[in-house]
Amino acid sequence: METKMVVEKADKTLFEGDSGGLYAWSNSKTPLLSDLKVGAGKLLLHPFGFFLPHYGDSNKICFVLEGTVTVGLVTPNSPEEKVLLIKKGDAVPVSMGVVSWWFNGGDSDAVILLLGDSSKSLVPGQFTYYFGVGPLGLLAGFQSDYVGKTFGLDQKESENIVNSQQGDVLVQLDQGIKFPAPSNHTKGKLYANVEDPSGAAVVVKGGGYINYLTEKKLPMLSEIGLSAKFLKLEGNAMSALDYVADGSVAICYIAKGSGRVKVVGSEGKPALR
């Protein structure tokens, strides 16, 4: 079977405003996403931009390409929130159903790349985000008195939780706002750095290095069935031939620079030049 591969930028705008933007690679431009049941997206947060608390229908790894981000995570059936302060090069696995929020408290833009498995997504090849509150929130579809009875709130509290958040997806927060302090002992458990050359598996002087992110470095990856590889090539350097023996799918993103890529399919014919 011939594989038709394409190289595309994120072409679908899910949200864009003063706080930043949320973008995706669409199935129409990159049909292999739905065929192979993987997904890709990008989050841009301007200073004091806030990605509202939400959960997704896909397992994914979130890579910080630029800036510094504060992230809150709450796993299903857990009463405890974990707060991370992550920077460029850090990767955070976020499994399906985990509630998260993302905040850029710095003075420059933050960019996060989202790659993962969409085999159980509402729309194969795409990530769907579900919000609790706001115009797109799940609670917006219920009457405030029902919400109050469900969560043990009085009328004022229930109306506040249903109606007070007027923004959707991303909002701009005021400077000076206080966020929870980062939780202790989270690096190596909830996130890891993929760009750090000190932990590289392969280093070639003057050529570059390869860093792998597997369950050995980040055990929770075994729960979501994903892994990552970071490749840095110096000028005029070339990587050796690489192949996947078990039928796994790989998504490649060029974060910086330019070069040439060639992929050959299982029938020995070029699939991408």
Q: Is 157 exposed, middle or buried (0-12, 13-18, 19+ CB in 10 A)?
A: middle
**pTM for the whole thing?**
0.91
- Residues 6 or more apart whose CB falls under 8 angstroms from that of 268 comprise none
* Per-10-residue mean pLDDT, the chain, length 273: 72 95 94 93 97 96 98 93 97 96 96 96 94 85 87 88 84 90 91 92 94 92 94 92 81 91 82 79
Cβ-proximal residues to 199 (8 Å cutoff; 6+ apart), any chain: 193, 211, 217
* 8 Å CB contact between 113 and 44: no
Give the tens place of pLDDT for each residue, 209-265. Answer: 999 999 999 999 999 999 999 999 999 999 988 887 777 888 999 999 998 888 887
Delineate the domains of the chain, giving CATH numbers in brackets: 12-172 (2.60.120.10), 192-272 (2.60.120.1450)
Q: pLDDT at position 1, please?
A: 47
Q: What is the pLDDT of residues 169-182, one digit of tens each?
A: 999 999 888 888 99
Query: 42, 38, 54, 53: which is closest to 15 by C-alpha?
Result: 42
